[in-house]
Amino acid sequence: IKLLSGYSIIRLYGTDCQELKMSWQAMGSNQKIYLGVWNIASPDGELQDIVNAVKSNSRGWDAVHTIAIGNERVNAGEATVAQVQAAVDTSREYLNSNGYTGPIVTVDTLVAYVANPQLCEMSDYFAVNCHPYWDGGVFTW
């Protein structure tokens, strides 16, 4: 984390390996954290990890920039848009009931977003990983 001290936002993809605790302890007061829930099929444990971490930190939700529910699940063929939508809806309800009012998104590739515009509608802003070499799609304009 010390190497990341020059960045204003630190992104985490999940909550395993004590990354929440270690990141929060190491980040500076001018930094925010972009949290993630990796397992959209069963997000409850990770959501509870996030709430517990926030409650144990003096900055609380103010330290959180965004919470992403899933990362490239549609592009990878590991979830349908409907499954991602269900996970985002469940997560949003849980996080809001625990005091979080910031952005909630799902992150996927540009190819997945173009093919599935519903991904745009479920997110508070477009969270797109743009890496055309690896995402399997080609666009020509």
Give pLDDT tens digits for 61-74. 999 999 999 999 99
Output the pLDDT for position 27.
83
Closest CA to 69 of 104, 93, 34: 104
Pair of tokens at residue 82 = 């409907």
How far is C-alpha 46 from the geometric centre of its chain's CA atoms? 11
Which pLDDT band, with edges at 50, 70 and 90, does 135 fall under?
Answer: low
**What is the SS3 assignment for 42?**
coil
Q: Give kind and range of the element (H or E) at residue 33.
A: strand 32-37
CA distance 77 to 93: 25
Determine the Cα angle at 27 with ends 23 and 31, to 5°: 120
pLDDT of the residue at 132: 59
